[in-house]
Amino acid sequence: MMTSNPVVDINVSPLDEIRRRRRAWLRIGVPIGGVALMIGTILLIALHSYRANRDGALALSNDLLATLEQRIATEISGYLAPASRAVRILRDTLRNGAFGDRLPLTETVSDSLLREIPQIADLYAADEDGNFVLVRRGEAGGTDVKVIENLPGSRHVTWVHRNSAGEEIGREDDPTDTYDPRTRPWYVGARGSDDLFWSEVYIFFTQRAPGITVSARHRDAQGRLRLFGVDITLDALSHFLASLKIGRSGRAVIIDDSGQLIAAPGGLSMVREVNGEPAAPRIEEVGDDVLTHAYDRFRIEGTGDRAIEVGGRTYVSAVMPITGAGRNWLTLIVAPENDFVGFVADNNRRALWMSLAIVLVAVALALLLMRQGLRADRNARQLLERQSAIARQSNAFASLASDASLFDPAHGLPSRTLTETLAEVTGARRASIWRLADGGQILRCEDSFDRETAGHSDGLELHHGELPALFAGLSAGEEIEVADVARDRRTAELGRVLNALGTKSLLSMAVRRDDRIVGAIWLEDAPVTSGNRDFVRAVANMLAVRLAGPPATPVTRERAVALDKPAAAPQPAPHNFAADLRPAVIDLSAVHADTYTAVAVMVLRFTDDRAVAERPSGEPRCIFDDRPWTAADRRHQRRALSQVGWPRGDRRGWVRTGRTGGRYGDR
């Protein structure tokens, strides 16, 4: 498995980088943390408010349910109490008999009670012999009287109909009637009790409607037993329960301790049979899961208020006993919890939506604060960089000023100090100084410094015919600053060469002497800052004096140092700018084995390692057309190597340049 070491930029201080990142995190983290704290605080306040309001609403709902239970109990007591008084009145009035000659009194008293107590449906009296009299409401405010004479050996059932004035309007016999009061629950229950007896809910024999009966007994001095009863229908209680407003969808029912329904908002529409007799339904037979669940919880936990969950919804239930009803009756109330606390959630939701506006404002302020903080840090860094650049430029100017000969036109050495200073101050990867020659048709490199390799090169020439757009811009005195040399029309032709050398961007500053362009300064892959441009302009103004004068005769360093030896005049050598060097006829006798003052150099920069790996070793190829070397190329190379004194077969940096018009040279 291959491993690689991380690349460390030694120009960047790790501590400064850590501090910079820490400041950036603080600039970003503090506003974000403030907004998050605000959102968390709002949510906590909303949660606390919701719980407090919910608990308060539930407490109020419990008070409301307790009030409803008291109202229901009061209503039931008020509904049943007149019936118990009516039974006592009948017992005290007709204790000496209700049949025979006392039948008119029975009808009169019953008619009066029916008129005064609307919830009474029937009044009746019976004795131990099976005699029975029933008085109930008739049509148009009249009464219907049923009389059963159960004499020994004969039974006679008669219906008497009277109008509202008490006049008899009809009489009929009913031989099919088999009613025997001595077998009815109200008779059996009252016969064994000295107090009032309340029957269970049952279906009345005559009216076929659910109701209850309250009855009482009386035994005279001779020991004869007489019983009196009053029927009360439960439809009125059902209508009363339906009129109650319990939240939006709450309901209340009346049951007994065995689970039998006494009254319900919709009435007791279901009827079941017990021992062949119709009877009211039980609560689990209604098909209401909420009521059934509440009743089951009551059987386990007893009376009281509690919350139950049915079908994923929470309900409030209350079960309280009803006093004064004569039997173990209970009020069962159920209502969805949202009917009481739903407004709390709605208000809380509205408050959160309103708080969202505050959060948005806080987010906007936090973003503004982050933006301002990051901008302040960026400005501070730029200021430090600017100060550092000013310091470097000041040192550079001081260094350049200490060697005034750099700008002397008669100075024969290349401007290496200038290019090194330019690259160091501006941070460019490569800095070069160019001179316009031959009437502006040739751009000759005075010196080029590569900061990566710390190498210098000079003597390269660019011709107007090869790069017309670049020369046109330079002649116009333009400051050419392009981020991609291959995409700008002025540097497109030059970009093919610079990209091969790894250059991406270019800053070209024209050197102007009076109104004449005398050269240019190039910065390749330099950071784009106003300080760099100002420094290059200043150097260009200082360099104008040197480039405006006639170029000094180029000599080698060795000959420039050896001042005691006169420099030999350079022999003019033929130049060939043809696209292909192979057919060019060069007089080899004019090429002397000597140190040349100007040699063209070509540097190969492989941007793809695979291209190098795929080429056979010892087989140099043409840099442009990728053709293998021919025998003529090798012969030409051997002749050139022998002239410069290199060993036979040494190919250091010697390649064929193809159709570029260049020459062989030392890498």
DSSP string, 444-470: EEEEEEETTTTEEE---EEETTT-HHH
- Same-domain check for residues 407 and 555: yes
Name the token pair of 197.
């007896």
The CA-atom distances, in angstroms, between 138 and each of 142, 161, 322, 465 are 5, 7, 33, 130
CA distance 498 to 485: 8
- Same-domain check for residues 608 and 483: no
Q: What confidence score (pLDDT) does residue 412 get?
A: 56
Q: What confidence score (pLDDT) does residue 62 get?
A: 79
Q: What confidence score (pLDDT) does residue 611 get?
A: 44
Find, among 475, 493, 468, 467, the residue nearest to 439 by Cα: 475
- Same-domain check for residues 112 and 220: yes
Q: What confidence score (pLDDT) does residue 172 get?
A: 92
Series of mean pLDDT values for 10-residue runs along the chain (667 residues): 55 72 81 87 85 80 80 80 87 83 86 86 89 88 89 86 88 89 88 84 69 87 88 81 82 85 72 59 84 90 87 87 74 84 78 85 87 84 77 72 63 70 85 87 88 85 86 85 86 81 86 86 83 80 74 45 45 49 54 57 53 45 46 60 50 41 37
- Residue 476: give its domain's CATH number: 3.30.450.40
Q: What confidence score (pLDDT) does residue 228 get?
A: 92
Q: What confidence score (pLDDT) does residue 227 get?
A: 92
- Same-domain check for residues 474 and 586: no
Q: Is residue 22 part of a domain?
A: no
Q: What confidence score (pLDDT) does residue 557 get?
A: 41
Name the token pair of 506.
């270019």
- Same-domain check for residues 456 and 597: no
Number of compact structural domains in the chain? 3
Q: Are 227 and 213 in contact (CB under 8 A)?
A: no
CA distance 105 to 101: 8
Domain containing 425 equals 403-559
Q: What confidence score (pLDDT) does residue 210 get?
A: 75
Q: What confidence score (pLDDT) does residue 147 get?
A: 92
- Same-domain check for residues 226 and 112: yes
Q: Is residue 29 part of a domain?
A: no
Task: Answer with the one of 187, 211, 233 that is the final residue of a domain.
Answer: 233
- Same-domain check for residues 587 and 543: no
Taking each helix axis as running N to C, give the angle between helix 338-401 and helix 416-426, from 0 to 180 degrees, rounded to the nearest 10.
Answer: 160
Q: Is the pTM of this model over 0.75?
A: no
CA distance 218 to 198: 16
Q: What confidence score (pLDDT) does residue 158 get?
A: 92
Which H or E element spans position 573? none
Q: Is residue 19 part of a domain?
A: no
Q: Is residue 220 part of a domain?
A: yes
Q: Is residue 587 part of a domain?
A: yes
CA distance 529 to 431: 16
| Cα three-residue angle 594-595-599, rounded to 5 degrees | 120
- Residue 217: give its domain's CATH number: 3.30.450.20
- Same-domain check for residues 104 and 187: yes
Q: Are 220 and 230 in contact (CB under 8 A)?
A: no
